[in-house]
Structure 1
Amino acid sequence: MLESNIRVMNKDVNTIIKDAQALFHDAATLTGEKATEARQHAMKLLDSAMVNANDARASAMVAGKEMAVSADHYVKENPWKTISAAASIGLLLGVILGRK
């Protein structure tokens, strides 16, 4: 679920940025009131992209903290399983790296 939300947010942010770039490009060729309107619209799009990016960052931070708490809880509940898993991984890596 989190990954799909991040993909959607990235797609939305990229679309907004492309639209803003096009508006800035058009604003460079326009003069007067139309140029001002185009720049203001582009700034609104960029502000929207920043809000979306901040929302995605906040969601990722919350999900990361939840996973860290879950892992911490598991390690505290199952210390010997965790130690044996870490030792097994270390042994496996030692064997693999020792062969080279």
Structure 2
Amino acid sequence: MNSVDQHKENLMRELTQVLKDAEDLIKNSEQQADEGFQSAKNKLQETLKTAKKEIQHIEEVAIKKTKEAAQATDAYVHENPWKTAGIAAGVGLLIGLLIARNK
């Protein structure tokens, strides 16, 4: 399992825990039990903090991977300009044919 998948799994676990904690919070708020309410509220806040950190980390990893892919694409285009132009022309022709066919 790669790092992104592991973080996705952690995020899902945290979000599931948030839902469970929110349900506990609602149950305790209905009963107005001060100690139970505060405990559930604190647990919910801690779970939300952890989930936010996981989301931020996943976002950072996704941005890093996107930048790496863009750099690799840029390098390929610079190393193979004629191949890239041929591929772009072929894709453009294909799209043009599909558009003309649908009219």
**TM tier, shorter chain?**
0.7 to 0.9
1:64 aligns with 2:66: yes
Change (3 A) 1:51 1:79: same
Contact 1:9 1:53 in 2 (8 A): no
> Residue 57 of structure 2: which of 49, 55, 58 is its match?
55
More displaced 10-residue stretch of structure 1: 60-69 or 18-27: 18-27
Per the normalisation by structure 2, the TM-score is 0.83
Amino acid in the other structure paired with 1:46: L
SS of the residue aligned with 1:99? helix
Q: Where in structure 2 are there 5+ consecutive unaligned residues?
A: none
How many angstroms apart in 2 are the aligned matches of 1:63 and 1:32? 46
1:6 deviates by 5.5
Aligned residues: 100
Q: Where in structure 1 are there 5+ consecutive unaligned residues?
A: none
Q: Which residue of 2 aligns with 1:19?
A: 20
Report the aligned-residue RMSD.
Answer: 1.8
Identity of aligned pairs, percent?
25
Following superposition of structure 1 onto structure 2, how do residues 68-87 of structure 1 map, counting pairs within 5 Å? 68-87=70-89
1:2 deviates by 6.1
Q: Deviations over 1:4-31 (max 9, x none)?
A: 3454244224313212322321331242
